[in-house]
Every structure is written in structure tokens, then in C-alpha cells.
A and B are shown apart, each in its own frame.
Chain A
Amino acid sequence: MLAAEVETETWDVLVVGGGNAALCAAITAREAGARVVLLEHAPPAFRGGNSRHTRNLRAMHDAPHGVLVDTYGEDEYWDDLLRVTGGATDEHLARMTIRASAAAPAWMTARGVNFQPSLTGTLSLGRTNAFFLGGGKALVNAYFATAERLGVTILYDTEVTSITLDDGFAREVTAVSRGFPLTLRARAVVVASGGFQANAAWMRESWGEAADNFIIRGTPYAQGTVLRDLLGQGVQHVGDATQCHAVAIDARAPKYDGGIVTRLDCVPFSIVVDRDAQRFYDEGEDVWPKRYAIWGRLVAQRPGQIAYSIIDAKAEPLFMPSVFPAIRADTIAELARQLGLNPAALEATVKTYNAAVVPGVFDSSKLDFCRTEGLDPPKTHWARAIDTPPFIGYPLRPGITFTYLGVQVNDRAQVLMQDGRPAANLWASGEIMAGNILGQGYLAGFGMTIGTVFGRLAGEEAARYARN
């Protein structure tokens, strides 16, 4: 359907976004009999938002089910969430999401998503997370195919610029579709347009010039246009704009869309130095899956938002390689020159560190208490002298996964206004409301869980409203 034809209709449900949460909402609403239009900012090749880069969904299960082994009950799931968020969550919404996650894999399978057993290197997630065969883009492809088959009207290259709210009632939706302005009317609107991490100007408002050195791991289409528009029209926000999920990734990654291959797992087996060749944090504080998400912020707080992970030949086989070639040299001084660091300063840092290493039994698979003594900051595990050439360096920058600022919702996925009342015909799902449940930290696969559960909920509620 052409954009001009879309304009003449009054749609039952209009979905803003084209990722997992948007697709779950569109499919659910269409299955409930609603006439649905979905507006995706990206062109077909880059459709799917950040879902394109995901690979699994965290699902509660009281018995082994499909690719999910053993059991993962509500309370354990809740405990995990409480731990990573440090309490920055809403127990009612969170438990509702967790309970609903049990039905998600079967619903997904029925709509074309295929699962596979846990990937190598992620065996620890085989009990809690169901992996998509082929990853998130395969999931997105399956959902778009299902949506098309069901008769959802899809417009690509269409960025929603504003939803006109009139005392909490969405009157009309304006967009730019393939370069032309477009105005649409719908009885119900679902916003699933993600965070604002790809909006450089907005990131700069929160982070200053440091934001210029951030790398966006996922979609460049997460501009937060709709989020900002709604927050400017009396919608209640959740979270604040300075919060984002940031990991340390290879500094050579492209500005956007580098995805999974830019990650670096070498930090715990290395020393990490800043631009001045100085260490600044305990690299061996805990196992990497529990620490990788603090390193983005740590690097963001260093001068120039850059750091360098330094290892020697002993450590090289211990981690997943990043996609970019290791920078190698036979001496620390030469490595420093290649990395653009002061050779004498790096030599001094390595020498001081090596002298502080206490002998121990190294074991990369667990907390081994191979540590330093009398060093500030200390390295408390996996500390071994860096003495075996070739010496290897990787540059690190903050890689932003998503932002936490969002719109507040209730347990029917309705968007809440600043006075606490729900907006009459506006629902939200996915990253744009994930902050209600995931106020900080991250739990692998939980973003997809929130998107799926709230997408279905929003689609169902919006369709029911529109059809009455």
C-alpha cells in the first residue's frame, strides 16, 4: 500500500516501530481482528531496530521445555532481576512480565520463530534463555513475514515525528515517509520505537562532548523522536537521560550497528590503561559476564573516552577474539608506540604491575585469587605478570546498547500521563518503556522478554479498544 492510500484510512491500530516489540503488538492486534498499520523508520535491509542484533529471550519455565533445560522459576528469575537492577524495578510489572514469559516461546514458535540449543560460549544461559536460530534478524524476518501474511500494512522508511496528544488522547500521527510528510489517523496507537541512544545531539545533552566518542552498538534509527515528543506533551517519564547500558567494545568498531562482533572479552586477563597509560580500575573484580557492563561507563569517564587493554601471549587463547586484529609488538615500548601511548609511561605501569603480582594458581574459568599486592587500584583475580611476547593491545571505547529513559506504563501497557491517569488510546512496548522494569543494569535476554510480553499486551489492549 502506498503512503498516500494509508493516509485516507482511519486505522484501528497504528504501531510505531519495527522491532520485536512493535511486531508482537502488530501481529497480536491483527490476529484480534484489528486493521493495523506499522511504521518502520528503517528501510527493509535494516528493519527490526535493536532486535536485529539480539539472540535470545529469557523465559521462565517450571519444567524443561523445548531448548530450555532444567527449570527456571518465577522467584529465581525475580531474584536475578532484583540483583542486576539493585531494586530499580517495579515488582508488580516485573513479576507480571516474568510469569507471562513462560508462554512466550510457544507463541513465538507459532509465528515462525525457530529456536536452537544454547550457543557455544553461552552454555551458562542454556537454562534461562531460549536462543533464536540464526539470531535476532532471523526472528525479525519471521515476524515481518507473519505480519505480512496476516495483512498488516507495513511502511518502511517512515519516521514518526509526532503524535498529537489532546488531554491524553492521540488525535493524529505525523510522519515522514520516504521523504514526504504523512498524516495518519488511528483509533489506537502503540509506541514501540525504542530508546534515543543513536541521537547524538540528545546524548550530548546528557554526557557533554564525551558523547561524541560513544559508539552505538545497534541501530542508527533509535533516535528517540517519539519519546521526546511524548515527554513534551505531559507523558510521565521513567528513568533519566544520563542512564544507558554501556559496555567496553573495540574502539575500531563502526559508529553504528557494529553489533556483537565488536565486543572484547579480554579485560579480566589484561591490564587496562587510559590515554596516559595509567590503570584505573580492578580488571579482575569478578567474572566477565558480571562485569562487562560496568566497563563502558568506566571508559566513558576517562579522558578522551578511550582505554587500552594490554595482554601478553599467555592470555591470548583465553577469550573470544574480537573481529578486529590484535595489535602486536615484541616489546611493551613498541606496543605503546603502536597504540599511540607514551612508551616510558606504559613500561612503568607494566613494570609496577608485574612487581605487584603475587604467585598463585591461575585458573581462567573461576575466581582464582591470583592477585596483586600493594597496587592501587589492585587486580584481585587472574593477575599474572605481562612478560611473554608478543605483547598485545586492544583499544576500548564505550559501546552504548540502549538508554533507560522511557515512558511510564501500567500493567495494561497503557502510557501514563504526569497526573497518573492512563492515556486514553496510547500504549507502549519495548525499549521505550523497559525502564519501568529494568531501571538499571541488564539481564541477558530480558529486553526481548519485555518487548514480547508488553508487545502482545499492547497489541491486545489496543485492538480491543479500537474494535469497541
Chain B
Amino acid sequence: MPETDSALSTTMTEARRVMEICNACRYCEGFCAVFPAMALHRDFANADLNRLANLCHNCKACYYACQYAPPHPFGVNVPQTFAILRDESYRAYAWPRPLAAAFARNGTVVALTTGLSLALVLILTDSLTAPGILIRAWTGRDAFYRVIPWAAMSGIAAITLLFSMLALTMGGMAFWRESRPDRPVTGRAVLRGLHDALTLKNLGGGGHGCNDRDGAFSTLRRRFHHAMAYGFAACFAATSVAAFEAYVLGLPAPYPWLSAPVILGVVGGAGLLVGTSGLIGLKFTTDPTATAPALLGADLALLALLWFAAATGITLLLFRASAAMGPLLALHLGFILALFIVLPYSKFVHAIYRTLALIAR
């Protein structure tokens, strides 16, 4: 794809130019991990720039503090340049290679995938169940599987999730091969990287918060992201506990209100709703000068998908004893299926590369 290659080199050239200016200035050293990592270099190889771009949390503090930001002729815009380069790196590390194209119009791809998987689940549910089964109140253990056969549900979930895990791992390995430091990676570096990833230390702006919307400092984005990320983790934990209870203990879903899967799911779902709503709100209210408008679609698509997955999950919980359970379950599983499929081909990959970059820096 010659077009992509030339676009790649343009962004890379701009990123190198910007980093060379920053490296001669270094006023931003206190903001985040990018600038101390940058200062270790005199020259920037493509892999260095990819690593730095993925280290950038897009907090924009350096943009507002920059004496060389546009309209200065040097036109330094680190957050925007790195956002574009980061997106290109997602393509570069994607596995299998042909699916890298999914990052080209990622918002559309994620939205279409979601639509298709919703349609698929709804059609399958309808065609695999006997007439009258779907729209009917079911209660007790096994209620969900009256609507969607256990084998179909767990089979499709297992296949898609395992494939996504494999794709994320392959992408992560490709990133790591290019980005790993020359020196051996110590356990301490791993712990520090994980700590910084889990706490979003680099969205602290050196302790005072980030420029979430404009020149003023705030910690909103960090808090919304925590709500979303830990909400996601809690939902994942809910699913894992449920799978354990179903397959190991022989206790299939649905579970009572005061059970581990439901409590985790409710807390996680609420976190996801709050976090994704807040982040979507910030996307629309932030000063766009330091963002990459072309990437807005990809960001919004994943946020929206997570929002719908959480919202349908909570709705299902509320109405699981009613006749609406069947369609609601199908709807929820449609979104979950879409999520499983798009994980390695969406903004989600930043979690992997960012964490690895924090370890490798």
C-alpha cells in the first residue's frame, strides 16, 4: 500500500522534527514519562518514535506550555503528532497483517462490526429457538440458555475471545520486539510500568492534572478513565467468576442479586457507563487544537460500544424476570460479541502498547 507508506513516513518525519525541537528545549520534563524518555536519545529511530508516541497519554499539558506551539513557525504540537503516529503504529503492529486495514476507517469498522454482530445474534436467536420461546418470562437456573443454547453462546464467546487474545498478544509482541530497551528489563521496571499504567500516573500532569478541555488543569479525564477501565475489569471479572461457577461448580447463570457475578457486573457496568459518558462528553468539549480530528471516530466508536455493552447488561439484569429477557439477552450478547471481535482492531489496543511502553521506557 504505497499510499499508507508515504503517509507513515510523513508522520514519522514530523514526529522526528518535533522530538528534535523538544529535545533541545526540555522544559516539559516534569509533565510525564515522554520527555525523560526522549532525553535519553540524541537521534530518534522509527521504533523510538513509535514507543514515545505510545507512551504519550494525550494529556495536552505540553501543548499549552509550549513556546513553540502554533502559530509559532516551529508549530510544535506533540499531542496531535503523537496521536496520529500512535494510530499508524496500531496498523503497523496489527495481526494478522491483512486486518491492519481495520484501523484505516476504524470508527466505521467498529460501528459496522457492532451492527453485524447484533444482527447475527438476533437472527440466530430467533432462528434457533422454537416459536414462543424468545418472548416469554423464564426464571430459575438455566433461564438464559432456554433462549440461547449454552453451546452456541459459550462456543462463539470462546472462539472470538481466544482469537482476540491471540491477536492482541501478537500485536503486543511485535511492539515489544521493536520497543524493548537494549538493557535487560528488570522486575522493578515491570512493576513501575504496571503501577503507572494502573494508576494513570502520567495523566497527573506532574501532580496538578491535565488540560482536559483547555488551558485549565483538571483530573476529570483521569477519573473517568479509571471508572471506565476498572469498570471494564470488574465486568471481565464478573464474566470469569460466572464461567467458573457454571463450568466448574455446575451453577449456570442467571445468578442471584447478592452473588459475586451480579455485584461485580453491576459495579463494573456502572463504572463503564459513568466513565464512557464522561469521556465522550470530554471529546466534544475539549479544545480541538491539540487533538487529531481524524481519530475522533475511532475513539467514539469504542466508547459507544462499551457504553451500549454496559447499558444493555444492566437493562438485562433489571428485566431478566420479564418476557423482555430474551430479546434483551440477545441484544446484550450482540454488543458483547462485537466487543470481543473488535478488541484487537480498535482503540482498545492502546492499553497493551501503552503498558508495554511504560515498562520499556
Residues of A within 8 A of B (CB): 45-46, 52-53, 55, 114, 116-117, 119-121, 131, 133-138, 141, 145, 254, 257, 259-263, 317, 320-323
Residues in A whose Cβ lies below 8 Å from that of B207:
114
Q: Which among B20, B26, B72 is the interface contact of A120 at CB below 8 angstroms?
A: B26
Given A45-B72, A119-B29, A145-B216, 8 other A-B residues pairs in contact with their CB atoms under 8 A: A46-B71, A46-B72, A117-B30, A135-B27, A136-B27, A141-B65, A261-B25, A322-B24
- Is B206 interfacial (CB 8 A cutoff)? yes
Residue of A nearest to B36 (CB): A120
List 15 A-B residue pairs with CB atoms under 8 Å apart, sorted by A's residue number: A45-B70, A53-B67, A116-B29, A117-B30, A119-B29, A133-B206, A133-B208, A134-B27, A134-B30, A257-B67, A257-B72, A261-B25, A321-B42, A322-B24, A323-B25
Q: Which of B21, B61, B71, B206 contacts A261, CB < 8 Å? A: B21
Partner pick for B67 among A116, A117, A137, CB 8 A cutoff: A137
How far does the alpha carbon of A136 sit from the alpha carbon of B65 in the complex, in Å?
8
Contact, CB under 8 Å: B71 / A45: yes
* Interface flag for B68 (CB, 8 Å): yes
| Cα separation A55 to B27 with both chains bound (whole Å) | 7
Nearest-CB distance from A75 to chain B (Å)?
31
For residues 18 through 56 of chain B, which have their beta carbon under 8 Å from a beta carbon of chain A? 20-21, 23-31, 36, 39, 42
Q: How many residues on the B side are at the interface (Cβ–Cβ under 8 A)? A: 32
Q: A133-B30, A133-B31, A323-B20 are in contact. Are A138 and B65 (CB under 8 A)?
A: yes
A320 and B24 in contact, given A52-B67, A134-B31, A134-B65 (Cβ under 8 angstroms): yes
Give the residues in chain B near A260, CB-CB below 8 Å. Answer: 24-25, 27, 67
Please give the residue numbers on chain B whose beta carbons come within 8 Å of chain A beta carbons, in ascending order: 20-21, 23-31, 36, 39, 42, 61-62, 64-74, 206-208, 215-216
Chain A residues lying within 8 Å of B42, measured Cβ to Cβ, are 317, 321
* Chain B positions within 8 Å of A52 at CB level: 67
What is the bound-complex CA distance between A1 and B221, given in angstroms? Answer: 32
Query: Complex: how many Å from CA A262 to CA B36?
Result: 20
Chain B residues within 8 Å of A322, by CB: 24
Contacts of B31 in A (CB 8 A): 133-134
Q: Which of A46, A321, A323 has the most CB of B within 10 A?
A: A323
Q: When the two chains form their complex, are residues A321 and B27 in contact, meaning their CB atoms are under 8 A apart?
A: no
**Chain A residues whose C-beta falls within 8 Å of the C-beta of B20 in the assembled complex:** 321, 323
Closest-by-CB residue of B relative to A131 is B30
C-alpha spacing A346/B215, complex, angstroms: 51
A191 to B240, CA, bound (A): 68
In the bound complex, residues from chain B placing their C-beta under 8 Å from that of A133 are 30-31, 65, 206, 208
Most-contacted residue by chain A among B25, B26, B27, B74 (CB, 10 A): B27
